[in-house]
Amino acid sequence: LAKTTQPISMDSYEGQEVNITCSHNNIATNDYITWYQQFPSQGPRFIIQGYKTKVTNEVASLFIPADRKSSTLSLPRVSLSDTAVYYCLVVPDTGRRALTFGSGTRLQVQP
């Protein structure tokens, strides 16, 4: 499984755009990049998944360069309720069915 590296913590202010970058140098051809969000005392929640280029949904955007060795989760105009831990995961398209969580990035949004 590809190992992921992301910043331990980030601080932001309400209304700003937040970009969290994850590196996954040994990503395999059939791996997807997936991000989960976890609030205190709750289970993780799926945010977004992509394979290459850009993916956007109602919550976030995911940017993946051509070499796929890194990815950036972009949260537009964060609010206090976006304070959470964000996990970047590399997930095989087939085969292993479970998730291996890295250390995650703790995002603190200030008023």
Partner 1 sequence: DAMVIQNPRYQVTQFGKPVTLSCSQTLNHNVMYWYQQKSSQAPKLLFHYYDKDFNNEADTPDNFQSRRPNTSFCFLDIRSPGLGDAAMYLCATSSRTGSSYNEQFFGPGTRLTVL
Name the site residues for partner 1 (rule: CB under 8 A).
34, 41-46, 49, 87, 91, 93-94, 97-104
Q: Provide, rounded to whole angstroms, the least separation between the CB of residue 102 and partner 1.
A: 6
Coil, strand or helix: which one is 68? coil
Q: Please name the residue that has the structure tokens 């890194």.
A: 70
Question: What are the tokens at 22?
Answer: 């994850």
CA nearest neighbour of 70 among 46, 35, 36? 35
Q: Provide, rounded to whole angstroms, the least separation between the CB of residue 44 and partner 1.
A: 5
Q: Please name the residue that has the structure tokens 């105009």.
A: 77
Q: Provide, rounded to whole angstroms, the least separation between the CB of residue 15 and partner 1.
A: 28
Nearer to partner 1, 45 or 54 (CB): 45
